[in-house]
Amino acid sequence: MNKRTKGESLFPMWLFFVYLGVLLLMSGIHSGLLLGAGQWGWGGLLRTLSPILYWAAVAGGLTVFTRYRIRITYEEPMLRLADATRKVAKGDFSVYLAPIHTPDKTDYLDQMFLDFNQMVEELGSIETLKTDFFSDVSHEFKSPLAVISGSADLLQKSPALTDRDRKEVDSIRDATRRLADLIQNMLKLNKLEKQTIRPAPSVFDVCAQVCSCAVQFEDQWEKKNLDFEADLEDSADVYADPGLTELVWNNLLSNAIKFTPPGGAITLTQKTMDHWVEVSVRDTGCGMTDETMRHIFDKFYQGDTSHATQGNGLGLALVKRILELSGGEITVESQPGQGSVFTVRLPRPEGQEAQT
């Protein structure tokens, strides 16, 4: 599309002729001024100052005028475009740029805006397709897994099984569960990386959320005879996506329980700071070396290979990614044999209205 009909250039040739004309006129006036000064018999100081002041005024005027022209023709539309592209890069496809001029006066900037709008619209529809695709993939993977796991559960109840058979069936069930978790985490991570899941932040009470997540693990810590202690404030508001932070707590708590030997302790603490709300999960598990700590947030990294059967190495990568997208952060402190502390910081609401 080469529509160069109207407004071929925002700074057309005639503008420069205007500049030339104005400058020539000015220098004409300058000569006139010099002649006039001689005739009217101006004194030495006035005679020196007048052309300086005169040219300062002319230069100043032209500079301001040029600056003004650049600002209204280029800078303002470009800033709008920059804002819009940033929004799109962050995954907001509802962006629309209004053209600067009415349709009968469109220039190439307007054309660019219109093309940009069209591009964003296209991207948006591709994005929807992709989201649907992922949800379909997850469904397709999980359906056969559901059958395997269901049949294994059923087989487990059969009275004809020997102890050895039962163990084998248990392995099938475990493996199915792990595969299902792996698929789930992989798809989530993928969506977060491709930004098909866009964080939808709101103001909510993180204490209430952490508590409800924690009680879901009660059976597990009781089974392992772990001492679970929670030390939280009554409530603390944060500004984040509650659907995503829930994944963070679930991952950290399930890791803590996984890596703490029976009889150990897990401590959940929460503090409110100036700009952050801090939640820590401390365990008395096997701990990590510096080398391990450097890599735990990498995909598919397993610190301790003896635990490899229990996880899929994606949980912490997912957690990290979520916190990056939420404007939060996660830090870890650990020493081999001394347990680990994972500390998550989430931004407190500043200026965002609390939602009830």
Partner 1 sequence: MIHILIVDDDPKLNKTVCIYLNDCGFETTGVLDAQAAYEALNSRPYDLIVSDIMMPGVDGFAFARSVRQLDKHIPILFMSAKDDLPSKQKGFQLGIDDYMVKPVELAELEMRVRALLRRANIEAERKLTVGNLVLDADGMTAEIDGEEVPVSKREFNILYKLLSYPKKTFTRAQLMDEFWDADTDASLRAVDVYITKLRDKCSACDGFEIKTVRGLGYKAVLL
Residues near partner 1, by CB under 8 A:
135, 138-139, 142-143, 145-151, 153-154, 157, 173, 176-177, 180, 184, 205, 207-208, 211-212, 214-215, 218, 228-232, 234-235, 242-243, 246, 268, 356
In whole angstroms, the minimum distance from the beta carbon of 113 to partner 1 comes to 33
Q: Which residues contact 273 (CB under 8 A, 6 or more apart)?
A: 345
Please say which residue, 71 or 177, places its beta carbon nearer to partner 1: 177
- What is the smallest separation between the CB atom of 188 and partner 1, expressed in angstroms? 9
Report, in Å, the least distance between residue 141 CB and partner 1. 8
Task: Take residue 238 and report the two structure tokens written for it.
Answer: 């944060």
Q: Which is nearer to partner 1, 34 or 147 (CB)?
A: 147
Q: Looking only at Cα atoms, what is the longest distance across the chain? A: 127
Q: How many CA atoms lie within 13 A of 349 on its CB side?
A: 17
Helices (H), 194-314: 206-215, 218-223, 242-259, 290-295
Name the minimum Å distance from CB 160 to partner 1.
Answer: 14
Shortest Cβ distance from residue 128 to partner 1 (Å)?
A: 14
User: In this complex, which beta carbon is closest to partner 1, that of residue 142 or of residue 224?
Assistant: 142
Length of the chain: 356
Distances (CA, A) of 204 to 216, 243, 245, 275, 277: 20, 11, 11, 15, 12
Of the pair 207, 240, the CB lying nearest partner 1 is at 207
Instruction: State which residue, 151 or 302, has the beta carbon closest to partner 1.
Output: 151
Burial class (CB in 10 A: 0-12, 13-18, 19+), 323: buried
Cβ neighbours of 311 (radius 10 Å) = 21
Distance between CA atoms of 71 and 61, rounded to whole angstroms? 15
Q: Say which DSSP state 27 is in.
A: H
Q: How many CB atoms lie within 10 A of CB 242?
A: 16
Cβ closest to partner 1, residue 184 vs residue 195 = 184
CB of 230 to partner 1, least distance (A): 3
Q: Pairing between strand 265-272 and 227-231? A: parallel
| CB of 62 vs partner 1, minimal distance in Å | 59
User: Six-digit token pair at 133?
Assistant: 């695709």
Minimum distance from residue 321 beta carbon to partner 1 (Å): 16
Nearest to partner 1 of 121, 246 (CB atom): 246
Of 92 and 246, which CB lies nearer to partner 1 in the complex structure?
A: 246
Cβ burial of 339 (10 Å; 0-12, 13-18, 19+) is: buried
Q: What is the DSSP string of 322-334?
A: HHHHTT-EEEEEE
Q: Which is nearer to partner 1, 81 or 211 (CB)?
A: 211
Q: Determine contact, residues 37/50, Cβ cutoff 8 Å.
A: yes
Q: Closest Cα to residue 260, out of 324, 342, 141, 322?
A: 342
Nearest distance from residue 320's CB to partner 1, in Å? 20
Token pair belonging to 258 = 């996984």
